[in-house]
């Protein structure tokens, strides 16, 4: 542009007008109209991210202001001591005050979009005022301001707005800068006492005369950088919304699946489909409320659900604390696995430790409910170890992660066999001895050659708890 020898004003003005019109349309479109289609919880999560981003923007701005103040303090003065104004200290002070005011409103939850928009315009206006004030500081014609190196800070302010993931603020900052620069050029031309314009680029650099082509280049740079950042942010915001939605989906899946299963589903590199499975050595724990049917007959539906929720809220954290994963709820039953979802070198020992901890917690829970006059059903446990397949079953759009194997069926049968042995928990001797090899130290009673319903051969069992209440 600088080497133009013909008057480029008509072409430049037309191009500038088209750019402004295009950006104005984008400004109206960039406000996330589609955000209403997002679930409220996703919008809330994005709003929290935007809040943290605004704190980051303000922190960076204050850090930059402090750095520039230190640099200015160590720089020799190049203007007269009685200059009418010191542009840099005044501008940095106003900028810091503006940033602190915005920080206060952000921290107190009062930073609405209107106030935020005002501060975006105001911070750019402060920078442009500083650039304008340089000709006063150096007591030179206004054209001096157009040659200020502080023009580079315009792009810094626009870029800082990109930290918020909302293109509208980048556009607002860029348009404010462009409009301010047009006003500064117009003022410089209007206040000149002699011919203020030259089409010779070298002359414009060596004098106070203004080269329209050079000023148009600055405007074009502001608008192009603004447009590129805005379009990039519009795409980035969509990616942010998608990422937040996926994160929320993981949290939602965790309500229906074990955390580790939800992580496998959302983190799978391949398409999730039926038939995917892994063979693992694992421990299977089956828990069931004893006397639940009698309690259900006495309780209202709300009280019955509250009982189940209370019981599950007691047991689930214990299972997870010992490395277990919840496979499914079956009414008042719970099927858990240890070492199936992810390998665990102490899966049998951890399963037995979890069972012991559950028994102690249930004793306290039952005592508290009995003291309150509430039904207090006991919990029966069945535990078996062996090779299981952990994978996906189902068809088409209805899939389920689960564990399959003889150990699963045997654990359920052992839980039912508690009624015969009048125990609170039973494990196979194989599971017990494996747990001992893995570091389990508690000694349990061996029940030799027991006939278990549904199992052809007699089994050696281990009692995990004595008689307690109704079994």
Q: Which fold has domain 275-465?
A: Alpha-Beta Plaits (3.30.70)
Per-residue pLDDT, averaged over 240-250, amounts to 63
**Is 70 exceeded by the pLDDT of residue 425?**
yes
Please list the residue range(s) of the chain that carry CATH number 3.30.70.1230.
275-465
Q: Which of 75-79, 361-365, 385-389 shows the lowest mean pLDDT across its residues?
A: 75-79
Q: Which residues of 278-306 are buried (b: 16+ CB within 10 A; e: fewer)?
A: eebbbbbbbbbbbbbeebbeebeeeebee
For residue range 82-108, list pLDDT tens digits in order: 788 888 888 889 989 988 998 888 888
For residue range 38-66, list pLDDT tens digits in order: 666 666 766 777 788 888 888 888 888 88
Per-residue pLDDT, averaged over 184-196, amounts to 85
pLDDT for position 164: 79
By DSSP bridging, strand 324-330 and strand 333-338 are antiparallel
Per-residue pLDDT, averaged over 258-279, amounts to 53
pLDDT for position 42: 63
Q: Please, are residues 336 and 317 in contact by the beta-carbon 8 Å criterion? A: no
Residues in the chain: 471
Per-residue pLDDT, averaged over 76-81, amounts to 78
Q: Please, are residues 376 and 370 in contact by the beta-carbon 8 Å criterion? A: yes
User: Residue 247's pLDDT band (boundaries 50, 70, 90)?
Assistant: low
Average pLDDT, the chain: 80
Tell me the two tokens of residue 176. 């404010």
Tell me the two tokens of residue 153. 């800070």
pLDDT over 70 percentage in the chain: 79
Q: What are the CB-based long-range contacts (under 8 Å, 24+) for 302-308?
A: 307/374, 307/375, 307/377, 308/332
**pLDDT: is 385 or 136 the higher one?**
385
pLDDT for position 31: 46
Tell me the two tokens of residue 345. 């070198």
Angstrom distance (rounded) from CA 255 to CA 41: 15
User: Residue 243's pLDDT band (boundaries 50, 70, 90)?
Assistant: low
User: Residue 290's pLDDT band (boundaries 50, 70, 90)?
Assistant: confident
pLDDT for position 140: 86
**Is 70 exceeded by the pLDDT of residue 256?**
no
């Amino acid at each position: 542009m600088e080497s133009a020898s013909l008057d480029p004003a008509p072409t430049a003005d037309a191009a500038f007008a088209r750019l402004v019109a295009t950006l104005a349309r984008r400004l109206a479109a960039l406000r996330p109209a589609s955000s209403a289609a997002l679930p409220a919880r996703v919008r809330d999560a994005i709003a929290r991210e935007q809040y943290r981003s605004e704190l980051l923007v303000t922190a960076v701005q204050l850090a930059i202001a402090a750095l520039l103040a230190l640099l200015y303090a160590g720089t020799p003065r190049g203007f007269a001591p009685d200059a009418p104004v010191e542009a840099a200290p005044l501008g940095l002070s106003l900028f810091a005050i503006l940033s602190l005011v915005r920080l206060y409103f952000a921290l107190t939850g009062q930073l609405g979009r209107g106030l935020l928009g005002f501060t975006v315009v105001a911070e750019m206006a402060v920078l442009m005022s500083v650039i304008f004030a340089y000709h006063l500081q150096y007591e030179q014609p206004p054209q001096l301001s157009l040659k200020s190196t502080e023009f580079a800070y315009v792009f810094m302010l626009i870029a800082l707005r990109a930290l918020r993931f909302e293109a509208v603020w980048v556009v607002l900052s860029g348009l404010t800068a462009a409009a301010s620069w047009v006003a500064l050029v117009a003022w410089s031309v209007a206040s000149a006492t002699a011919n203020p314009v030259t089409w010779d680029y070298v002359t414009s650099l060596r004098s106070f005369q203004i080269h329209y082509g050079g000023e148009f280049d600055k405007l074009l740079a502001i608008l192009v950088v603004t447009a590129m950042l805005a379009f990039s942010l519009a795409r980035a915001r969509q990616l942010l919304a998608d990422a937040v939605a996926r994160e929320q989906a993981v949290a939602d899946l965790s309500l229906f699946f074990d955390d580790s299963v939800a992580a496998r589903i959302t983190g799978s590199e391949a398409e999730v489909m039926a038939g995917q499975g892994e063979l693992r050595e694992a421990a299977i724990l089956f828990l069931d409320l004893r006397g639940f049917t009698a309690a259900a007959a006495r309780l209202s539906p709300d009280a019955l659900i509250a009982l189940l929720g209370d019981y599950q809220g007691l047991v689930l954290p214990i299972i997870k604390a010992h490395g277990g994963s919840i496979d499914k709820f079956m009414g008042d039953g719970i099927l858990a696995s240890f070492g199936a979802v992810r390998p665990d070198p102490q899966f049998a020992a951890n399963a037995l430790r979890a069972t012991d901890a559950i028994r102690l917690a249930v004793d306290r829970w039952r005592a508290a409910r009995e003291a309150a006059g509430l039904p207090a059903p006991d919990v029966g446990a069945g535990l078996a170890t062996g090779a299981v397949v952990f994978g996906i079953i189902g068809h088409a759009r209805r899939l389920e992660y689960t564990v399959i194997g003889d150990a699963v069926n045997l654990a359920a049968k052992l839980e039912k066999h508690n009624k015969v042995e009048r125990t609170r928990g039973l494990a196979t001797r194989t599971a017990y001895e494996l747990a001992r090899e893995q570091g389990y130290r508690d000694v349990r009673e061996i029940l030799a050659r027991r006939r278990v319903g549904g199992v052809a051969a007699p089994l050696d069992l281990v009692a995990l708890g004595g008689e307690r209440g109704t079994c």
